[in-house]
Amino acid sequence: MTQALEQLDTLIDGLRHAVVTENWTALASLNDSVRPQLESVMDELEAGGVSPTLVQERLEELRGLCDEGEAGARKAKANILQSLKEVASSRKAARSYQDVSVRGGE
């Protein structure tokens, strides 16, 4: 296996870990490394140093991770939005209670 392919495998492992642990900061950081690493692998593919089948397997794996990451990010966003709605509802209830308390004291 070539060095570029080994480095891509390491990157894929890091991406997988970031997706599984829902570490969006690490995922974003690792994502920045994907394109340059793929370019290295594609250069080796063009030079005949790596099997097209191996490259295709890695690309499919990356696509799956991208899909998982996107689904996880959507889920995290939905959870955050729900939490914000709950906070807003609690604030509204607290203001209503305060308004009633102030009027009751008059």
pTM of the predicted model, to two decimals?
0.74
CA distances from 37 to 7, 11, 41, 42 (A): 7, 8, 6, 9
Q: How does pLDDT run across 23-73, given as a tens digit for each residue?
A: 989 998 999 999 999 999 999 999 999 999 999 999 999 999 989 988 988
DSSP characters over 59-87: HHHHHHHHHHHHHHHHHHHHHHHHHHHHH
pLDDT, position 93: 82
